[in-house]
Structure 1
Amino acid sequence: MSNNSPDTSDPGKGVTQTRQQVKVAVGEYVQKGETVYRITEVLDFATVIGVAVESGRSSPLSIAELLPIDNTPTSPAPDLTEIEDSDWHEAERRFSIIQPLVDRYLIGREVVSARAKETGVDTATIYRWLQRYRSTGSVLALIPQKPGWKKGKTRIPAHAEAVIKEVIKEVYLTPQRPSAQKVILEVLRRCHERKIDPPSPGTVRSRLRRVPERDRMRAHGFRERAINRFQPAAGQFPNADYPLAVMQIDHTPADLILVDDVHRMPIGRPWITLAMDVFSRVVTGYYLSFDAPSETSVGMCVAHSMLPKDDWLLLHGVEAEWPVWGTPRTIHVDNGPDFRSESFRRSCLAHGINLEFRPVRQPRYGGHIERLLGSLLKEIHDLPGTTFSSIKDKEGYDPEKHAAMTKSEFEEWLVSLICKVYHQRRHSGIGMSPMKKWEIGVFGNAEVHGVGLAPRPADRLSVQLDFLPSFQRTIQTFGVTIDGLRYYDEALRAWINAVEPDNPSKKRSFTFRRDPRDISAIWFKDPTLGQHFKIPFANLSLPSMSVWEHAQARARLRQEGVESTDESQLLRAISELRSHVEESKARTKRSRRQAQRRKDHEKKVAPADPLANTRKAPTPETPPATPDGLLSGNIDVNWDIE
């Protein structure tokens, strides 16, 4: 039995009939067994030379053993016994007429006209038969249509049909977007004026349905939408011809209701920020959070993309490989404000990353990442608690009733899906799995010269810091103030009331960065030492908090009539808010979500050091040996662990 013979050993197993064809020509992609080949030479009627797209090795291939890459039938094929003999003969006659032309793709009209004159068939008919045959590659396309009233043929008088066409052009296809009823009335009015028997309303509605949707959208003023929907996107992204040449990023809410860690009750849908390498289609990184898309989610996703992921896999208990790291040459994003922040632009600039934006109102330019997110959401629809992607699919299913997964459980599933399924599954756009394409792009093969391994960051925390939001502040005697919160450490002492070197009358500004998920400390870069220092709250009694929790506490104080807040009032407000959340989280989804959000932030899981929270911090009694004044500030990957 040949490799492409159907398995008939099991009498209960059905065999699906398909009439797909293997295109045996130079440059075509074919499949033998589980391997995809590109044909480089046709030797004879039985053999071709093919290059395996994964290994780059050339092999002689038997044409009889080849299969099309996509060998899944799109629709059931009719049985040949259903075709009458007379139709068969007619199809064969038609094929004999066009046969000398079928393999000639550049056919001048004089050639077709000569063939038409030779066979006694109209030139337009030969063009039509050629088009039908080439659309399927089968003589069956030339079978005459069955007798009867054919679709598209009109039953009404020609002058009535002309009135309908006239009204469609002059009235319907206009920016005013008239209703079908108005079109019907206008047809009736014009027919009455011209003393023509009017067509029925159903006939007019039928003609309106035949108007191509692209024409309708353009005429009704939706030109950009028509372009995005009907203009094909390019098969390859410009300049994405090696790993990390172009990376795309986008966000989506997951079609899934998650539960909290404590009560395992519904708390809502998380957001996924995903990045992919366009050349190989591998997922370079992601960020999962209950917080809406922001500058932070974008920055953390980029940092995760650039950094090695061994510890990340260990954190989530996934036994797999994810050998993807490095700085992308270009990041391609949409026009959202989270991507257009000045801080993110400068972060990219610092790493030599070119930031490109999609043309406005032309989403097809983000097709690669959007297709990946769509594929991801389809996989999520198999999980308990899915919200599906449409009301129709969701009908009769209560997502909150079936919700069962916590954020950490879902994240473990997500990492497994990326590494074990998506990266290993053949991608139709590249003819191999994303991970194999990535390996070839890095190491090369017999046909491709690899670019080599990307440089590995020497200090992971430095990469993460670069993609945190930044601030410019002067340093006062009490330290630094950001959003009404004071920060101080001995690392700031040398720069108190410092002035600009070239302008002594102006105080000097310094760069600070913070992670909005935990604003209990900020990062300061000493311009002389070139080191970063971690600067904590000046008031050590203040608890760790996120920027969102801080804003919520200040809003509560304003409601109480407190205009200017001191830190004691802020501490009281935060304590009251947390107490309220703890008391009500078993009752309300909003409170459970807020509690879980704070719990996730307190874990301090970050791309630079995902296992930081699993290691024991040095105790105050046995501090690490460091120079005086640098105890709480000197940048170290293992120091951000409390």
Structure 2
Amino acid sequence: MSEDGNDFELPNDAFEPVRQRVDVQVGNFVRSGDTVYRIAQVLDFESVVAVGVESGRSVPLRIGDLRPVDAKGAKPLAADISTIADEDWKVAEQRFAAIKPLANELYLGRHQVEARSKEVGVDAATLYRWLKRYKAYGAVSALIPQRRGWKTGKSRIPVFAEEVIEEVIRDFYLTPQRPTAQKAVMEVFRRCEQRGIEAPSAATIRSRLNRVTEKQRLRGRGFKEKAKNKFLPAAGSFPNADYPLAVVQIDHTPADIILVDDVYRRPIGRPWITLSMDVYSRMVTGYYLSFDPPSETSVAMCVTHSVLPKDEWLLLHKVDAQWPVWGFPKTIHVDNGADFRSNNFQQSCLMYGINLEFRPVKQPRYGGHIERVLGTLLKEIHDLPGTTFSSIREKDEYNPEKHAAMTKSEFETWLVTLICKVYHQRLHSGIGMSPLKKWEIGIFGNAEVQGTGIPPRPANRLTVLLDFLPAFRRTVQTFGVTIDGMSYYAEALRPWINAEDPDARDKKREFIFRRDPRDISAVWFFDPALQQYFKVPFADQSLPSMSIWEYQQARETLKREGKKSVNEHQILHAITELRSRVDEAKEKTKKARRQAQRRTEHEKKVSPAAPMPAEPLKPSAPLLAPVTGLVEGDIDAFGDIA
């Protein structure tokens, strides 16, 4: 329901973005189904033992089934990144700068917060509040100024009583004197009476005490060394890569293999691999495979794949293995390529509190870890039919196109198997053990050191993907919205037609749209009132699905034919004609087969956010029949990650 009372129902094409994370740590509260639990023990990467808050019963739970307790109340985090006002971003960035030296500390003492409060001129209690909010959501947008008034998910006890409880926990309960919970309850009663505040119930106070994590309890109650031994991970060799996901490196390379198309199984060329790896453990955290050179979209896909769980991805490729890697890194370390320097990517990293660090110019040693991993994988590829090897000398008289035999899907299944069953399991000379073992030690620890715990899992897959995809600002007209000359319309736009800018009455209001360049047949519209995304298709439903590169080539073809004013129907006919040429030529030429395969990959519509498509692929518009791809030139387009 829109604010003006207009009903429209888009059950499969609308969702509210959620940027909370499921923090799987002992003592934290989570939801499974309709029940709230407190985690009592983490068994492994797949399961925990939790206690029902109301029933008090202990039950085993799958980590993949857990959800944040108050995800529905996270309205400040529901906004699209681009809708946050510049002044609010400045405030959030200032607050984040104030707490940043403290945010990544595993164990935080009062003296550190008080010292930081003096440095930045902010009250220590305020810093604690900002830290608590940032750590709860893991996003810088959690620090934007909030409107006054009670919000869903917040405590219903008076704010002064809440402050007294926090004060008692900080100054009384978490001290070397180690007072009991009952004494802490009585201390809250005493301080409330002194200040003339209505005291909360004993049960409420005890519930707040139960939220104190084991790490905080050990640290605050005089077991500093025990806390270090139990939770502090071993140090690595890369600067600041001292624990899992402290530093993740990303790089691209063309794979040393010629692949074949799905239809004729004839050569179409080399794919590109974008790979991300955890420097601490050398685990591969994610990848993106396509027939196209790297750009902002390949980076978005790789980062999204890196931070999301891989269970469904393994099912998609029918690989029976473990890949227990997910979570946002503290730092992403990259080279100085333009694909990493886009404003959207930098803003997305800021949203999730990721420090984007660029490799120093002319100092290649800083990229050595990721380059060695890529080199290891490429070396394994040299055993496959169709390999190009890494040099002319190695290739000698071998003809890779003559021996090419694997399709992209077959190669990707092989790659996932290689990563999970070989590379992750094999002894790594740089760390003295396998990457998977190092990762497990960093997370769970061993007899000497226990790790940081399981990383928080993103609560919503699609939100993560959209946050990293390209964004556009557009006004809404009576016919809908226009992006790159193509019109889009859906009922979700109707309330905002010719809407005025609330800050400038003589201007029309601009709204945020996000788009996957691999399929521009629809865009995602962010409704600022409902705080939801809506999928908006082409206004002309006769238009087929197409990539941005396919569309751009059709426009260029029409321009060369002297048609200055290009409309959608001309685009449709141009694409139909170009695809027809491909259909005739793809059995004859490698470029045409490559273009046809690119389109096939785009139509799969598989992404890290949706590894398993809910519906089978639908054919293009009837008038296009079985034609696919383009023929004119070898477009530098993006393939699919599937």
TM range (shorter): 0.5 to 0.7
CA distance in 1, matches of 2:495, 2:463: 23
CA distance in 1, matches of 2:617, 2:522: 19
CA distance in 1, matches of 2:362, 2:540: 48
Alignment of 1:192-341 (within 5 A): 236-341=237-342
Q: Which residue number in structure 2 is paired with residue 443 of structure 1?
A: 444
Counterpart amino acid of residue 550 in structure 2? E
Q: Which residue number in structure 2 is paired with residue 374 of structure 1?
A: 375
Conservation of the 8 A alpha-carbon contact between 2:236 and 2:280: no
CA distance in 2, matches of 1:461, 1:615: 19
Q: Is structure 2 residue 555 aligned with structure 1 residue 538? A: no
Counterpart amino acid of residue 407 in structure 1? K
Alignment of 1:62-77 (within 5 A): none
* CA displacement 1:46-89 (0-9 Å, x = unmatched): xxxxxxxxxxxxxxxxxxxxxxxxxxxxxxxxxxxxxxxxxxxx
Conservation of the 8 A alpha-carbon contact between 2:604 and 2:617: no
Aligned to 1:555, the other structure's residue is in SS state helix
Alignment of 1:411-426 (within 5 A): 411-426=412-427
User: Structure 2 unaligned runs (5+)?
Assistant: 1-234, 619-642
Offset at residue 613 of structure 1 (A)? 5.4
Aligned to 1:538, the other structure's residue is in SS state coil
User: Structure 1 unaligned runs (5+)?
Assistant: 1-233, 618-642
Q: Which residue number in structure 2 is paired with residue 594 of structure 1?
A: 595
Q: Which residue number in structure 2 is paired with residue 514 of structure 1?
A: 515
Counterpart amino acid of residue 295 in structure 1? E
CA distance in 2, matches of 1:493, 1:348: 33
CA distance in 2, matches of 1:615, 1:442: 38
Q: Which residue number in structure 1 is paired with residue 558 of structure 2?
A: 557
* CA displacement 1:582-631 (0-9 Å, x = unmatched): 110000000000000000000011001111156699xxxxxxxxxxxxxx
Q: Which residue number in structure 2 is paired with residue 578 of structure 1?
A: 579
* CA displacement 1:119-164 (0-9 Å, x = unmatched): xxxxxxxxxxxxxxxxxxxxxxxxxxxxxxxxxxxxxxxxxxxxxx
Q: Is the deviation greater in 505-514 or in 586-595?
A: 505-514
CA distance in 1, matches of 2:266, 2:616: 30
Alignment of 1:55-204 (within 5 A): none
Q: Which residue number in structure 1 is paired with residue 397 of structure 2?
A: 396
- Counting matched residue pairs gives 384
Q: Which residue number in structure 2 is paired with residue 360 of structure 1?
A: 361
* CA displacement 1:9-66 (0-9 Å, x = unmatched): xxxxxxxxxxxxxxxxxxxxxxxxxxxxxxxxxxxxxxxxxxxxxxxxxxxxxxxxxx
CA distance in 2, matches of 1:551, 1:502: 35
Aligned to 1:519, the other structure's residue is in SS state coil
Q: Say which structure, 1 or 2, has more relative contact order (CA 8 Å, 6+ apart).
A: 2
* CA displacement 1:278-321 (0-9 Å, x = unmatched): 11110000000001101000000000001011111011111101
Q: Is structure 2 residue 478 aligned with structure 1 residue 477? A: yes
Counterpart amino acid of residue 429 in structure 2? S
Aligned to 1:338, the other structure's residue is in SS state helix
CA distance in 1, matches of 2:475, 2:365: 45
Conservation of the 8 A alpha-carbon contact between 1:258 and 1:385: yes
Counterpart amino acid of residue 395 in structure 2? K
Counterpart amino acid of residue 415 in structure 2? L
Conservation of the 8 A alpha-carbon contact between 1:603 and 1:613: no
Offset at residue 274 of structure 1 (A)? 0.2
Offset at residue 494 of structure 1 (A)? 1.3
Q: Is structure 2 residue 459 aligned with structure 1 residue 458? A: yes
Counterpart amino acid of residue 286 in structure 1? Y
Conservation of the 8 A alpha-carbon contact between 2:274 and 2:294: yes
Q: Which residue number in structure 1 is paired with residue 497 of structure 2?
A: 496
CA distance in 1, matches of 2:449, 2:491: 55
Offset at residue 506 of structure 1 (A)? 2.0
Aligned to 1:292, the other structure's residue is in SS state coil
Aligned to 2:458, the other structure's residue is in SS state coil
Offset at residue 559 of structure 1 (A)? 1.1
CA distance in 1, matches of 2:539, 2:348: 28
Aligned to 2:513, the other structure's residue is in SS state strand
Normalising by the residue count of structure 2, what TM-score does the alignment of the two structures yield? 0.59
CA distance in 2, matches of 1:318, 1:602: 23
Conservation of the 8 A alpha-carbon contact between 1:468 and 1:515: yes
CA distance in 2, matches of 1:236, 1:477: 59
Q: Which residue number in structure 2 is paired with residue 118 of structure 1?
A: none
* CA displacement 1:78-111 (0-9 Å, x = unmatched): xxxxxxxxxxxxxxxxxxxxxxxxxxxxxxxxxx
Counterpart amino acid of residue 464 in structure 2? V
- Give the percent of matched residue pairs that are identical in Structure 1 and Structure 2: 74
Counterpart amino acid of residue 290 in structure 1? F
Counterpart amino acid of residue 574 in structure 1? I
Q: Which residue number in structure 1 is paired with residue 211 of structure 2?
A: none
Segments ≥4 residues shifted beyond 6 Å: none
CA pair 615-560 structure 1, distance change in 2 beyond 3 A? closer
CA distance in 1, matches of 2:399, 2:380: 18
Q: Is the deviation greater in 387-396 or in 455-464?
A: 455-464
Conservation of the 8 A alpha-carbon contact between 1:605 and 1:613: no
CA distance in 2, matches of 1:476, 1:446: 65
Q: Which residue number in structure 1 is paired with residue 431 of structure 2?
A: 430
Q: CA RMSD in A?
A: 1.4
CA distance in 1, matches of 2:449, 2:507: 57
